[in-house]
Amino acid sequence: MRSMAAMRGLAAIMSVAMALMWLNGCAAQDGGVLAPPSPAPARTPIPLDTRGVLYCWDFSDVMENRGALERIIAERGVTALYMHFTGEFLEAADDTFIGGMADEGVEVVFLCGDPGWALEEDAASMRKAIDSVLLFNLKSRNPIAGVAFDVEPHAAESYRSDRDWYVFALNLRKAYRYASDNGLRVVAVIPFWLDSIDENGKLLDYIVQNCCDEISVMNYGVGNTAANILGEVDAARKYDKPVTTIYETRFGQGGEYFASYEAVEADYRAIHDAAQYARLRPAYHHFGDMK
């Protein structure tokens, strides 16, 4: 004789079998049999965006080496030039260079900044830089598209603690509002470790949301570039803003530097594959090392 436990087990199996037959019978009324659930559709890979940003700190060097500039634009697929201009250039409002870049499909952004700007009252120097671009644009047919602020508070001799970054963020927000009110884009140049400066990347989140239209991340060095920038990419994704990963181009020096453009391209593909963010692209620092 079967035990009571065995009988109960058999009854349970028969109950499940009858339930399955009933479900299949219901499905048959609709012209089919019960099928297992379909797997979730595979996520479509994000296309690799190789359009480059080129950093240039010396406009006179660029003008003396226009051939090198044209070559770099073609080879690196450059569509944005973050260029530092002198006060004299901006005051003269000669837009010939800006127009020439526009004809090649290259946007020009004014690159500026100094660690000493971080703690200034009312973002004085950043507002002055914005004013110089606005005045240039008023006099020109070919405008400068915006301002890229490379301030780096941690590099100031007066740097006391990470709290200085919070003061800078408040100043950058003031500058961003002023620029936005006057039709200019703002790029915030930041270090890759900014997401670890406080708990849960709150400062990074604040800067991306409130202080810029784009972040450009100093993701220098060889090794952990993909892991280093994922926090910044996630913040950019959260607010649907562009992000660039900046590469130093002092090739062949060993240590923290990449060996070649081929090594940079392979690294950027690895970052892209890890991040899967459509508004990510590479940036190159800087023209002086690339010419």
Question: What's the burial of 180, exposed, middle or buried (CB within 10 Å: 0-12/13-18/19+)?
Answer: middle
d(CA 249, CA 24): 65
204 residue type, one letter: L
d(CA 150, CA 114): 7
Report residue 244 as tokens. Answer: 């660039």
Report residue 180 as tokens. Answer: 């936005």
- Letter string b/e over residues 260-269, b meaning 16 or more CB atoms within 10 A of that residue's CB: eeeebbebbe
Q: Is the bond preceding residue 285 a cis peptide, omega within 30 degrees? A: no
Those residues with Cβ within 8 angstroms of residue 96's Cβ, 6 or more apart along the chain or in another chain? none
Q: How confident is the model at residue 37 (pLDDT cuts 50, 70, 90)?
A: low
Average model confidence (pLDDT) across the chain: 89
pLDDT at 17: 41
Summarize the confidence of residues 33-50 as an average pLDDT.
Answer: 69
Those residues with Cβ within 8 angstroms of residue 143's Cβ, 6 or more apart along the chain or in another chain? 95, 98, 136, 137
The pair phi, psi for residue 223, each rounded to 5°, is 135, -75
Q: What is the pLDDT of residues 210-248, one digit of tens each?
A: 999 999 999 998 889 999 999 999 999 999 999 999 999
Architecture category of domain 52-290 in CATH: Alpha-Beta Barrel (3.20)
pLDDT at 38: 55
Task: Please determine, for residue 166, whether its predicted confidence score (pLDDT) is greater than 70.
Answer: yes
Q: What is the pLDDT of residues 71-109, one digit of tens each?
A: 999 999 999 999 999 999 999 999 999 999 999 999 999
Angular region, 122: left φ>0, alpha ψ -120 to 50, beta rest: left
Summarize the confidence of residues 174-197 as an average pLDDT.
Answer: 98
Task: Please determine, for residue 14, whether its predicted confidence score (pLDDT) is greater than 70.
Answer: no
d(CA 85, CA 83): 6
Q: Note whether 187 and 133 are within 8 A (CB).
A: no
Q: What is the pLDDT of residues 120-132, one digit of tens each?
A: 999 999 999 999 9
Q: Which helix (H) or strand (E) holds 3?
A: none
